[in-house]
Amino acid sequence: MIKEFLDYLQFERNYSPQTLESYGRDLEEFEQYFKNLEGHLSWDTVDEDVIRDWMSSMMDRGNTARSVNRRLSALRSLFRFAISHGLVEKDPAHLITGPKVDKPLPYFLREKDMDRLLDPQMWTDSYIDVLARTLIITFYETGVRLSELTGLDDDDVNFVNSNIKVTGKRNKQRIIPFGKELADTLHCYMERRDKEITRLTDGLFLNRKGRRVSNQQVRKLVEDNLAKVTTMKKRSPHVLRHTFATAMLNHNAELESVSRLLGHASIATTEIYTHTTFEQLKREYQSAHPRA
């Protein structure tokens, strides 16, 4: 049955040799599995329990959920073909749900790396360095998105109440508090900006031409400067947003509060950071405990 299915994929569906090889390997593995079970099973007598046990055995051997789902997809395709061509009487695979694929944990910087990066001695006195350091501190202290940061105007910063007003997704606005370090940094940046730059916009963060910094310019500044303290491949502004959320939770902030600060529509979106903090805790335990 496998050969007929692969011939169909090759000659009627024009599947690539690599896909055919992958399908064949996965299906032959399943066939070998059920033939080794008691009861002398065949393709006609395979049922849902056999498929579920096969999937469990793969997970027990260390296969990822993504790998198991790929093999289940090949099996579903085979049974659909077999039903349509009268090779079997029932399809036990179509109601089987594959294992849930975990979302990858967000990248974030450790606090000691952020402390090192924001050390004034790491920076020159050039306007671009002053701008870049201010951008990074703003990301780290407020957790704003890239588009929210580049959209800020001077009027969005309230130094009296120590907060900024940002416009997020679907034009929803929220107020985010900030601390003394960011207040001092913004004051110094704005004083330097107003001395050196001829303004062409009300934007808070300006490039040397007096225009609002673009998303691309901010990404480049952040990526270049994060490279000073981390070898992570991802060094985007979003990493700093993740770093903000992780730092807040590591210092006992409530999940709902962090969710509101980030502008998440649902607290479920924020829960990914609880997994991040647990993974960090687990790594520290494994490196510190003598019997871990």
At 189-203, the pLDDT tens digits run: 999 999 999 999 999
Q: Which residue has the tokens 């947003």?
A: 241
**Three-state secondary structure call for residue 210:** coil
Give the Cα separation of 93 and 49 in Å (integer).
Answer: 10
The reported pLDDT for the residue numbered 214 is 96
Contact predicate 169/263, CB 8 Å: yes
The reported pLDDT for the residue numbered 287 is 66
Q: Which residues are catalytically annotated?
A: 145, 169, 238, 241, 264, 273
The reported pLDDT for the residue numbered 250 is 84
The reported pLDDT for the residue numbered 138 is 98
The reported pLDDT for the residue numbered 38 is 80
pTM of the model: 0.64
Exposed / middle / buried, residue 213 (Cβ in 10 Å: 0-12, 13-18, 19+): buried
Q: Which residue has the tokens 């671009």?
A: 128
**Dihedral angle of Cα 35, 36, 39, 44, to the nearest 10 degrees:** -20
Bridge partners (DSSP) of residue 158 are 163
Strand spans (E) along the chain = 157-158, 163-167, 173-177
The reported pLDDT for the residue numbered 283 is 63
Structure tokens belonging to residue 93: 């695979």
Give the Cα separation of 78 and 8 in Å (integer).
Answer: 10
b/e for 100-137, b at 16 or more Cβ within 10 A?
eeeeeebbbbeeebbeebbeeeebeeebeebbbbbbbb
The reported pLDDT for the residue numbered 40 is 79
Q: Count the neighbouring beta carbons within 10 Å of the beta carbon of residue 75.
A: 23
Structure tokens belonging to residue 58: 């793969």
Low-confidence ranges of the chain (pLDDT < 50): 292
Give the Cα separation of 86 and 84 in Å (integer).
Answer: 6
The reported pLDDT for the residue numbered 177 is 94
